[in-house]
Amino acid sequence: MKINYPNRGTFLAVVFCVQQHEKKGRTVLIFNIQKCSIHDGNGLRTLVFLKGCPLHCLWCANPESQSYQEEIMEIPRKCIHCGTCQRVCPEAAISLVDGDFVIDRSQCRNCLRCVDVCYAESKELVGREMDADAVFKEIYKDRLYYELYGGGVTFSGGEPLTHPEFLTAITEKCKRFRINTAIETCGFGDYEAFKTALPYIDHIFFDLKHIDSAAHQQLTGAGNEEIIKNLNLISNHDIPITVRTPVVPGYNDSQENIIGIATLIKDIPAVKEYELLPYHNLGSGKYASLGRPYALGGTEPPAEEQIIQLVKLAGQILKPSGKQCFYTKKNKKEILL
């Protein structure tokens, strides 16, 4: 029987298609790699921020993390008013408004020409495509710090669980080199897809914003049914879990909500602790840089007295099951029983 082997051109085309398919799953947009962090895990950590999130929380402190696409942030204080960005824009989407060159997002096609010519970095690209090897090289640079201070790497976002192939590849690589791994997640994702990464994760910070699904839908754009389901499924993998709730005045700061969440998690063995995160508005300026309104413009951070009261209420529910509730003050856990 005669075998018809593909010619060299066909073979290379097939290889290219396979490589592109693999690249699509194993590369992600990274919008920040933060070194020497003392938050979001034990010891001194590297935080890797992946772009793209299925939720759109009203209070999100990193709105540049939400889109799965590259974005342009505008930083007016850096602008030298040379007008080059306006001249090179093929869509005429940049105009002078109150002394600043501003992008009309409805006309912008994200060609990034304005970013390329902005030497003052007033127009800044958010999102850099990287594969697991490239990200690991950045993580590995600080391996001595991890050994000295008991640290590691925490994958955040965005939502790392919506990049399952990349997350599996990078966490498996970290574990081969005995680097501690953690993830921060909103819990919304396809369990069957992301469960392949779970054997390589040492700790999970799991957000639960509201116990009521309808309220959760209003605040984040999705209900909490899948999130609670995933919390229970993940707990079967015997990975220590810290459940977190951002406490936002007027939205989810009621005693009923915090008590409801504490009651839900008290009988889940893998959940070791419950952390309340007081709302802050430090990321509000980023919305203007992305050409978006900030929905919580008039919202102030909660009073510390309220946080203390909520921590005590949740702590009373969790204590019989050996768990604790806390909030962080000046980089120190405040546990109130």
Q: What is the pLDDT of residues 213-235, one digit of tens each?
A: 999 999 999 999 999 999 999 99
Say if residue 122 is in the same domain as residue 141. Answer: no
Say if residue 239 is in the same domain as residue 180. Answer: yes
pLDDT at 26: 79
Count of domains for the chain: 2
Mark which of 100, 126, 152 sits at the end of a domain: 126
- Give the CATH number, domain containing residue 108: 3.30.70.20
pLDDT at 96: 94
SS3 269: coil
- Sign of the CA dihedral running 290, 41, 254, 227: positive
Say if residue 260 is in the same domain as residue 306. Answer: yes
Nearest alpha carbon to residue 243 among 180, 185, 294, 173: 185
3-state secondary structure 191-219: HHHHHHHHHHCCEEEEECCCCCHHHHHHH
Nearest alpha carbon to residue 167 among 193, 192, 146, 143: 193
Task: Tell me, yes or no, whether 1 lies in a domain.
Answer: no
Nearest alpha carbon to residue 307 among 245, 225, 223: 245
Say if residue 284 is in the same domain as residue 139. Answer: yes
Say if residue 149 is in the same domain as residue 271. Answer: yes
The C-alpha atoms of residue 34 and residue 223 are separated, in whole angstroms, by 31
What is the DSSP code (8-state) at residue 187? S
Task: Tell me, yes or no, whether 4 lies in a domain.
Answer: no
Task: Tell me, yes or no, whether 213 lies in a domain.
Answer: yes
Angle at 136 between CA 130 and CA 142, to 5 degrees: 130
The C-alpha atoms of residue 211 and residue 154 are separated, in whole angstroms, by 26
Residue 42 CB neighbour total at 10 angstroms: 15
The C-alpha atoms of residue 161 and residue 165 are separated, in whole angstroms, by 9
The C-alpha atoms of residue 254 and residue 230 are separated, in whole angstroms, by 24
Task: Tell me, yes or no, whether 293 lies in a domain.
Answer: yes
The C-alpha atoms of residue 275 and residue 317 are separated, in whole angstroms, by 14
SS3 322: coil
- Give the CATH number, domain containing residue 193: 3.20.20.70
Rg (CA), the chain: 23
Say if residue 122 is in the same domain as residue 238. Answer: no
Say if residue 224 is in the same domain as residue 327. Answer: yes
Which range marks the domain in which residue 290 is found?
28-67+127-335
Q: C-alpha 45: how far from its chain's center?
A: 15
Say if residue 100 is in the same domain as residue 217. Answer: no
Say if residue 54 is in the same domain as residue 81. Answer: no
Say if residue 138 is in the same domain as residue 232. Answer: yes
Indicate the Cα dihedral angle 43, 48, 50, 51, nearest 10°. Answer: 110
Task: Tell me, yes or no, whether 80 lies in a domain.
Answer: yes
Mark which of 96, 126, 156 sits at the end of a domain: 126
Mark which of 126, 149, 166 sits at the end of a domain: 126
Task: Tell me, yes or no, whether 322 lies in a domain.
Answer: yes
Say if residue 56 is in the same domain as residue 141. Answer: yes
* Parts of the chain with a pLDDT under 70: 1-25, 330-337
Task: Tell me, yes or no, whether 5 lies in a domain.
Answer: no
Task: Tell me, yes or no, whether 16 lies in a domain.
Answer: no
Structure tokens at 254: 């009621």
Residues 6 or more apart in contact with residue 161 via CB below 8 angstroms: 167, 183, 185, 187, 188, 189, 194, 197
Residues 6 or more apart in contact with residue 103 via CB below 8 angstroms: 72, 74, 93, 94, 114, 123, 291
Say if residue 78 is in the same domain as residue 122. Answer: yes
Measured CA to CA in angstroms, residue 23 lies from 26, 209, 284 at distances of 5, 33, 34
